[in-house]
Amino acid sequence: MNRTPANATSSAPPNDPHPAPALEVLPRDLSAYRRGNTGVDYVHRFESGEPGPHVLINALTHGNEFCGMVAACHLLDTQVRPLRGTLTISFANVAAYESFDSQEPFKSRQIDHNLNRIWSTEWLEGSEDSVELRRARQLRPVVAAADHILDIHSTSQDVLPFWVYPHFARNAAVAMALPLPTVHLVMPKGLGSGCPLIQHGRHGQAESDAGAALVVECGQHFLQASADRAIRVTQAFLTHFGLLSAPADGPASDRANSAEHRRFELLRTHVIAHEAFRFVRPLKGFESFARGELIGHDGPEAIIAPCDDCTVFMPARMPIVGREGVYLTKPMA
């Protein structure tokens, strides 16, 4: 891995309208955690011996989302053990993580496929092969065994942290009970561009015995604040299910207040079809548009706001054909 000082910035690629990010968090060597105890590399399981749920904390679904790595390493470094139930900690796309180059820090998101779009039966049992498909097939029993899943992610832009989850009551109940994030991206019909890990198998079914399966977007990939937030969210998630004891006192920002939560319904995921994709103005995320207002162009196609207060999530930092360009949402009552 190409390492740089923690206060360095990367070099922005040509024609990149965004400034080069500060690299406050960099990869660390994970080789000490390669040999787990489950038969799957980089997967560690700890059983309390007491009745309780099985909770999976998953990091590095994308190779350059370092906050999850920090949170998972924190659990392992400090030898956290569950008070009840079972705790599993996994590092997912280590191959992409190890390809990190500080001069092009966004490229290590994936090697071949987006590991967070291939969790359908069609992909996992199909004939195609790739680094990510091999890893997803290895991790399939790990994901299937968990009652509750926290999949830790981050964003290319420095925006508010938020939850992402299918519109199931079991997911909403947990996300609303936790103190942060207070923004929710709710998917009534799935992601619309593939099957994410949190919708694999029974976790993607409205009527099932599955528990909660949530993505947490903790902030910009390389910021220390995102890593710190990932640790706090992970601790709160484990505490909610009784695997950790609640701290005697915590900061006011870590106390749940459901009145502060804001939820947005995913209306459409736009996948980029043309190299000539562009927005009408630079977007970071959470900008709102009126019904009928022009958001951008994808070649000859105009991307139009389908409703008033149409709020954009995760606009593409750099357009890449075949990847998501923008998520269009509306506020939920």
Phi-psi region of 258 (alpha: psi -120 to 50; beta: other; left: phi over 0): alpha
Residue 3 has pLDDT above 50, yes or no: no
Cα 199 to Cα 89, 169, 213, 271, distances in angstroms: 18, 14, 8, 19
Taking alpha carbons only, the member of 35, 41, 103, 93 closest to residue 64 is 93
pLDDT at 246: 85
Q: 331 falls in which pLDDT band (50, 70, 90)?
A: very high
Q: 333 falls in which pLDDT band (50, 70, 90)?
A: confident
Mean pLDDT over residues 176-189, rounded?
97
Q: 21 falls in which pLDDT band (50, 70, 90)?
A: confident
Q: How far apart are CA 111 and CA 227, in angstroms?
A: 23
- Condensed to tens digits (0 to 9), the pLDDT of residues 70-91 reads 999 999 999 999 999 999 999 9
Mean pLDDT over residues 141-145, rounded?
98
Domain ranges of the chain: 8-260, 266-331
Q: Hey, what amino acid is at 230?
A: A
Strands 183-187 and 310-313: unpaired
pLDDT at 263: 98
Q: 10 falls in which pLDDT band (50, 70, 90)?
A: low
Residue 15 has pLDDT above 80, yes or no: no
Q: Do residues 264 and 332 make contact, with C-beta atoms less than 8 angstroms apart?
A: yes
CATH topology of domain 266-331: OB fold (Dihydrolipoamide Acetyltransferase, E2P) (2.40.50)
Alpha helices in the chain (DSSP H): 66-77, 94-97, 121-124, 131-145, 169-177, 224-240
pLDDT at 247: 75
Mean pLDDT over residues 111-136, rounded?
97
Q: 259 falls in which pLDDT band (50, 70, 90)?
A: low
- Condensed to tens digits (0 to 9), the pLDDT of residues 39-78 reads 999 999 999 999 999 999 999 999 999 999 999 999 999 9
Indicate the CATH number for domain 8-260.
Answer: 3.40.630.10
Q: Hey, what amino acid is at 7?
A: N
Mean pLDDT over residues 267-278, rounded?
97
Q: 5 falls in which pLDDT band (50, 70, 90)?
A: very low
Q: 244 falls in which pLDDT band (50, 70, 90)?
A: very high
Residue 6 has pLDDT above 70, yes or no: no
pLDDT at 251: 54
Residue 2 has pLDDT above 60, yes or no: no
Q: 108 falls in which pLDDT band (50, 70, 90)?
A: very high
Contacts of 77 (CB under 8 A, 6+ apart): none
8-260 and 266-331: identical CATH topology? no
Q: How far apart are CA 93 and CA 158, in angstroms?
A: 23
